[in-house]
Every structure is written in structure tokens, then in C-alpha cells.
Amino acid sequence: MNTPLVIKSSMVEQTTVLAPQSDIDMARAPSMRDAIKSALESKPSKLVIDLSLVDYVDSSGIATLVETLKWTREAKVGLALAGLRPRVKTLLDITKLTALFTTRPTVEEACKV
């Protein structure tokens, strides 16, 4: 059985940083979705999702990221993904979504976008 998804949340000035601590699959994507929706309720100027500890994302996780893109565009909140590992980047590539997201190697760089 897999463990629940722990998501660390922090603020860097007006940017909310969400950092899931493990893989995002069908079982864990709802927790990620809830955390993102909750973070957006506080109306940050930017949302950074730190994926540096995420080795695996399935299409449920990708769907959550696409929803996040839609929500942030509607709310006029900036969105950046940080620290993508190779497997996660591969998935974004094969689903042709890479170009839709702003990605940076580190949270620090993502916060500056």
C-alpha cells in the first residue's frame, strides 16, 4: 500500500510554494488537488510547485497540473514548476504539455519568474 501524500507548504514573499514529498498517482492526486485549491484561496501572486522529490507522476497527476494551469490563469496567478526529475519531464514531453508550463531547475529560480 502506498503512503498518503504529504505536501509541504511555504511562503516566499507573495509566492506560495507547494512541495509534494512523494509520487503523485491516482491514489494521491486528490490530495494534491485539494492542496492546490486551498493554496489558491489565499490569493498568492504566484504558485510554485516544487517537484524535486517527485519521481513518478501518472496521468492523474498530470490532469491535476493541467487543472492548476487553468485555475491559475483564471485567477491571474503566476505558475511555475520547479525541480522536475527526468521521469516527470518525460511524461510532460510525451503528453506534449511541456511548453504550456514554466519550468525551472530550482524553487529559487521559479520564484523569480
Q: What is the 3-state secondary structure (H, E, C) of 7-19?
A: EEEEEECCEEEEE
- Interaction between residue 109 and another protein (CB under 8 A): no
| Residue 13 beta carbon to another protein: minimum distance, rounded to whole angstroms | 30
Q: Which residues make Cβ contacts (< 8 Å) with residue 12, sequence separation at least 6?
A: 48, 107, 111
Q: Which of residues 60-99 bind another protein (CB under 8 A)?
A: 60, 62-64, 66-67, 69-70, 86-87, 90-91, 94-97
Considering the complex, state which of residue 12 and residue 98 has its C-beta at the smaller distance from another protein.
98
**Could you tell me the CA-to-CA distances from 62 to 30, 31, 57, 86 in Å, in that order?**
12, 14, 7, 15
Q: What angle do CA 103, 108, 109 make, to 5 degrees?
A: 40
| Residue 32 beta carbon to another protein: minimum distance, rounded to whole angstroms | 12
| Residue 47 beta carbon to another protein: minimum distance, rounded to whole angstroms | 17
Which residue ranges make up the site for another protein (CB under 8 A)?
A: 1-2, 23, 25-27, 56, 58-60, 62-64, 66-67, 69-70, 86-87, 90-91, 94-97, 100
